[in-house]
Amino acid sequence: MRAVLVGAVESTRIALHALAESLGWDLAGVVTLPPALAGRHSDFVDLSADAAVAGCPLLPLANTNADEAIDAIAALSPDYLFVIGWSQLCGERFRALAPGRVVGYHPAPLPRLRGRGVIPWTILLDEPITAGTLFLIDEGTDTGPLLAQRFFHVAPDETAATLYDRHMVTLAAMLPGLLSALAMGAAVPEPQDPRFATWAARRRPEDGAINWSGSAAAAWRMVRACGDPYPGAFTMLGEERIVLASAQPVELAGHRAALIGQIVERSADSFTVRCGDGRGLRVDAWRRERPQPPPLHAQLGPS
């Protein structure tokens, strides 16, 4: 089987290695973003060295639905297309390059959480269980038949980084068996049940703003959901943006006389902010223009 892989992040690298190492598969090429467009993915990975080791050509293409890309991929005569770690929708002409044989990976238990920003949304929605899903891409958004699905629990203190890593482990474990089944013609696609479908809307960096008038638990979820490899949850000190990298909810027994969003405790390596429910969020790691924590009694916003 000849495969072309499309993607530009860590999951793409995992798929590249799996395809290169699987019997019955010839990795004919890897389509990825040109380095100048790496900013499209906060978790962009340079795949040039991996493609070279695998002995397959690397095709830097900005738009997989453009004529240039369609012609370049068609020239590789793929039996299957694997679109793993790519933000563009797969248009009709692209899918027609391997009709009914375009495989994607989604970091959610499809049909639940179809759409974008799924790892942050999993944490923000306080989902107790998630899954990695390999499926056939059709004309809808994450609506195609399921090929493989593996469930796992989401920890109460899960972060974007830990959940991202667990999805990489899950994908690496799922791919060899599926590739073997596809090569033998033994894979049985299972239609999704639309009764259970939910959707995740796109998230942008500005959606990571902390709302201090909410609960400390909600602020903590935002910090965990938006951290590495994503841009991060943030707050403002005047015109300065402070990115909150690590935090914990705490009780504020002696700080009831404080404004929402006000810093009520400060040390060399942490600061604590009063939230709308009367509890505090202790920030243990942050990024700002200067290394020290912001001043005691400063009010952060937006509130």
pLDDT digit string, tens, across residues 196-224: 999 999 999 999 999 999 999 999 999 99
Question: In which band, very low, low, confident or very high, does the pLDDT at 241 lie, cut at 50, 70 and 90?
Answer: very high
State which of 200, 225, 256 marks the end of a domain.
200
pLDDT attached to residue 108: 98
Q: What is the mean pLDDT of residues 36-59?
A: 94
Residue 123 CB partners (closer than 8 Å, separation 6+): 154, 158, 159, 160, 163, 221, 224, 225
pLDDT number for residue 187: 97
Query: Left, alpha or beta for 222 (phi > 0: left; psi -120 to 50: alpha)?
Result: alpha
Q: Residue 235 falls within a domain, yes or no?
A: yes
**pLDDT the model gives residue 192:** 98
pLDDT of 143 reads 98
Q: Of the residues 200, 230, 256, which one is the last residue of a structural domain? A: 200
The arithmetic mean of pLDDT across residues 98-106, rounded, is: 98
**Confidence class of residue 40 from pLDDT cuts 50, 70 and 90?**
confident
CATH number of the domain enclosing 235: 3.10.25.10
CA dihedral 101, 105, 110, 114 (to 10 degrees): -100
Span 156-191, pLDDT tens digits: 999 999 999 999 999 999 999 999 999 999 999 999
For residue range 119-150, list pLDDT tens digits in order.
999 999 999 999 999 999 999 999 999 999 99
Helix (H, G, I), strand (E, B) or coil at 72: helix
Whether residue 291 is predicted with pLDDT greater than 90 in this model: the reply is: no
Residue 220 confidence (pLDDT)? 98
Tell me what the pLDDT averaged over the chain comes to. Answer: 96
Contact (Cβ atoms closer than 8 angstroms) between residue 3 and residue 28: yes
* 269-290 confidence digits (pLDDT tens): 999 999 999 999 999 999 998 8
Look at residue 22 and tell me if it is in a domain: yes
Q: What is the CATH number of the domain that holds 83?
A: 3.40.50.170
Helix (H, G, I), strand (E, B) or coil at 149: strand
Is residue 268 included in any domain, yes or no?
Answer: yes
Q: 97 is in which domain, residue-wise?
A: 2-200
Q: Quick one: average pLDDT of 229-249?
A: 96
Specify whether 19 is located in the same domain as 164. yes
CB 87 within 8 A of CB 38: no
d(CA 108, CA 134): 10
The answer, yes or no, to whether residue 303 has pLDDT greater than 80, is: no
63/150 same-domain check = yes
Burial class of 174 by CB neighbour count within 10 A (0 to 12, 13 to 18, 19+): buried
Asked if residue 302 is part of any domain, the answer here is no
Q: Is the same domain home to 259 and 169?
A: no
Domain count, the chain: 2
In the predicted structure, residue 58 carries a pLDDT above the cut 60: yes
- Mean pLDDT throughout 28-33? 98
* 209 and 196 together in one domain: no
Residue of 245 and 87 predicted with greater confidence:
245
Residue 253 pLDDT class (50, 70, 90 cuts) = confident
Q: Do 216 and 264 fall into the same domain?
A: yes
Same domain, 229 and 163: no
Q: Does residue 299 belong to any structural domain of this protein?
A: no
Q: Is residue 87 part of a domain?
A: yes
* Domain boundary residue, one of 160, 175, 200: 200
Query: 173 and 219 share a domain?
Result: no
145-163 pLDDT, tens digit each? 999 999 999 999 999 999 9
In this structure, the answer to whether residues 229 and 273 fall within a common structural domain is yes
